[in-house]
């Protein structure tokens, strides 16, 4: 679509629900699925449609929702009087828009771009309203879609107002609609709250449109795609659905997983080809893994980059700012934070590397730590290429270790070390002959 073209599409996202069943101080739509607020998953699916406007309807005291959906505008539904009333609160923001309006829900994050496109296409073929339906295994409290002989939607009956015969209908209403903008608010102005809940139902516009001689069509999607999240249990189910999708995507792009069900990814995890991922690996946000990387069991990643051919784990933790170079090795019980580990360098055992640069082909011995915090500020350690740091060394930052330098095991290094030098910083060993036996004898004396 060119810069001067308009899509003729707008969206109203309903997100005013308190999420009482969540038992949370956080607005329901901000609970995360794969480390991303669920409402932003919905926004992601809208983006390819290039909508001219997206208006989010939220409740009062939900500034965090407005921040999450910024720069899209929001409006506030001060009284929760039903879905019809919620949509009406967006009228001012939409102004004179005269295209197609998608009405979506912030707690229904999995609706696909393709389904939204299908609804828009159906609307543009002559229907004034397109309802998104589905056939759940257990219809329960879902509103039922009553179709006429031509397959158009005759009415949407809320479960609380349905007769036993209507409750037997299998096609249910998801709540999602696509409506001709010029008709939407005119119909909403006619909706009353004469129903079991005393609310203004958005669904009532279907019968009103039919009465006025307008076509009201239906498009169907799967129950999984239309999954709503209203409780912690449903949030866990949604997480499982998303994780399955992310694992499948990673494997489709050339990654192998020894035990896929034990690997957890973030919505934005990027994994290259011929990557092997062991069991019980967790990827937090902002992680990029190159090609031919070997990730062993029980590793945790967040905010980090791993270049081609590197080996990580088992039991390694890469924190934000960890940048692992090509063919580097990060071993068991190693934690890396805000550090560059250059090509071919090895940090293989029981080490903490924070605020550091480790030169190419350097070898960091077991138990080495960079002492990067003085109680007030963080400081940096720089190690040149080809250096060897002996086991159980403490590098007290700020400090620089030259290229091909060697640090003796057990050293506490507080001063810079020149290229090619040996630095040993440990207390002198003292030996007292016979002291151990005299000590034991004294303890055994009564």
Q: What residue segments make up the domains of the chain, in order of their start?
A: 9-220, 232-423
Spatial separation of the C-alpha atoms in residues 280 and 297, rounded to whole Å: 6
Residue 31 main-chain phi, psi, to 5 deg: -65, 140
Indicate which residue of 31, 35, 253, 349 is catalytic: 349
Q: Which residues pair with 277 in a beta bridge?
A: 257, 295
Please measure the distance between the N-terminal and C-terminal CA atoms of the chain and give it in whole angstroms.
Answer: 94
Query: Pick the residue with more confidence: 304 or 443?
Result: 304
Average pLDDT over residues 192-196: 87
Residue 213, pLDDT score: 93
pLDDT of 445 over the 80 cut: no
Supply the CATH classification number for the domain 232-423. 2.160.10.10
Of 267, 272, 247, the C-alpha closest to 259 is 247
List of residues 6+ apart from 376 with CB closer than 8 A: none
Residue 161, pLDDT score: 85
Average pLDDT over residues 350-372: 98
Average pLDDT over residues 113-121: 98
Average pLDDT over residues 205-214: 93
What is the token pair recorded at 357? 């640069």
Spatial separation of the C-alpha atoms in residues 179 and 220, rounded to whole Å: 16
Q: Which of 42-51, 138-147, 239-248, 346-355 is least confident? A: 138-147
Of 219, 216, 209, 201, the C-alpha closest to 148 is 216
For 402-433, the pLDDT digits (tens) are: 999 999 999 999 999 999 999 999 988 889 99
Considering the domain 9-220, what is its CATH architecture? Answer: Alpha-Beta Complex (3.90)
List of residues 6+ apart from 307 with CB closer than 8 A: 290, 293, 324, 325, 326, 327, 328, 343
Spatial separation of the C-alpha atoms in residues 218 and 122, rounded to whole Å: 8
pTM attached to this predicted model: 0.91
Place of tokens 């007030």: 376
What is the token pair recorded at 229? 């999240």
pLDDT of 43 over the 90 cut: yes
Residue 1, pLDDT score: 59
Our answer to whether residue 349 is catalytic in this structure is yes
Tell me whether residue 251 is exposed, middle or buried, using C-beta atoms within 10 angstroms of its C-beta: 0 to 12, 13 to 18, 19 or more.
Answer: middle
For 135-180, the pLDDT digits (tens) are: 998 888 899 999 998 899 998 888 888 899 999 999 999 999 999 9
Average pLDDT over residues 271-278: 98
Of 421, 406, 342, the C-alpha closest to 368 is 406
Residue 280, pLDDT score: 98
For 96-112, the pLDDT digits (tens) are: 999 999 999 999 999 99
Residue 278, pLDDT score: 98
Q: Which of 103-112, 113-122, 196-205 is least confident? A: 196-205
What percentage of the chain has pLDDT greater than the value 90? Answer: 87
Which band of pLDDT confidence, cut at 50, 70 and 90, is reported for residue 195? confident
Residue 3, pLDDT score: 52
pLDDT of 276 over the 90 cut: yes
Residue 2, pLDDT score: 54
Which band of pLDDT confidence, cut at 50, 70 and 90, is reported for residue 122? very high
Residue 428, pLDDT score: 86
Q: Which residues of 388-421 are buried (b: 16+ CB within 10 A; e: fewer)?
A: bbbbbbbbbbbbbbbbbbbbbbbbebeeebeeee
pLDDT of 446 over the 60 cut: no
Query: Pick the residue with more confidence: 387 or 61?
Result: 387
Of 336, 260, 265, the C-alpha closest to 305 is 336
Of 302, 85, 125, 132, the C-alpha closest to 227 is 132
């Amino acid at each position: 679509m060119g810069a001067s073209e308009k899509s003729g599409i707008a969206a109203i996202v309903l997100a005013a629900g308190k999420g009482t069943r969540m038992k949370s101080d956080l607005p329901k739509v901000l609970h995360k699925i794969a480390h991303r607020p669920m409402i932003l998953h919905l926004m992601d699916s809208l983006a390819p449609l290039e909508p001219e406007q997206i208006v989010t309807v939220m409740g009062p005291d939900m500034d965090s929702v407005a921040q999450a959906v910024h720069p899209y505008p929001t409006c506030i539904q001060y009284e929760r009087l039903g879905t019809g009333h919620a949509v009406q609160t967006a009228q001012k923001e939409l102004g004179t828009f005269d295209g197609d309006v998608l009405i979506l829900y912030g707690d229904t994050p999995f609706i696909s771009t393709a389904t939204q496109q299908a609804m828009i296409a159906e609307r543009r073929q002559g229907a004034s309203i397109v309802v998104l339906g589905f056939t759940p295994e257990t219809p329960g409290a879902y509103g039922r879609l009553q179709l006429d002989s031509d397959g158009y939607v005759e009415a949407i009956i809320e479960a609380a107002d349905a007769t036993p015969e209507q409750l037997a209908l299998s096609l249910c209403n998801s709540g999602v609609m696509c409506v001709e903008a010029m008709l939407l608010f005119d119909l909403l102005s006619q909706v009353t709250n004469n129903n079991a809940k005393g609310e203004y139902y958005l669904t009532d516009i279907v019968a009103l449109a039919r009465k006025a001689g307008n076509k009201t069509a239906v498009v169907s999607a799967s129950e999984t795609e239309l999954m709503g999240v209203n409780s912690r249990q449903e949030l866990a189910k949604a997480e499982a659905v998303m994780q399955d999708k992310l694992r499948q995507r990673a494997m489709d792009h050339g990654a192998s997983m020894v035990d896929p069900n034990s690997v957890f990814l973030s919505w934005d995890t990027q994994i290259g080809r011929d990557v092997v991922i062991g069991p019980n690996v967790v990827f937090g946000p902002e992680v990029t893994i190159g090609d031919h990387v070997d990730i062993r069991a029980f590793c945790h990643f967040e905010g980090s980059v791993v270049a081609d051919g590197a080996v990580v784990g088992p039991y390694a933790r890469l924190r934000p700012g960890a940048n692992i170079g090509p063919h580097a090795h990060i071993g068991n019980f190693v934690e890396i934070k805000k550090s560059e580990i250059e090509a071919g360098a090895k940090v293989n055992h029981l080490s903490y590397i924070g605020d550091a640069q480790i030169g190419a082909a350097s070898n960091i011995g077991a138990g080495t730590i960079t002492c990067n915090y003085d109680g007030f500020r963080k400081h940096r350690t720089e190690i040149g290429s080809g250096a060897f740091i002996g086991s159980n060394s403490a590098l007290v930052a700020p400090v620089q270790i030259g290229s091909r330098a060697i640090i003796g095991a057990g050293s506490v290094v507080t001063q810079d070390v020149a290229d090619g030098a040996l630095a040993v910083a440990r207390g002198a060993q003292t030996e007292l002959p016979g002291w151990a036996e005299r000590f034991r004898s004294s303890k055994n004396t009564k």
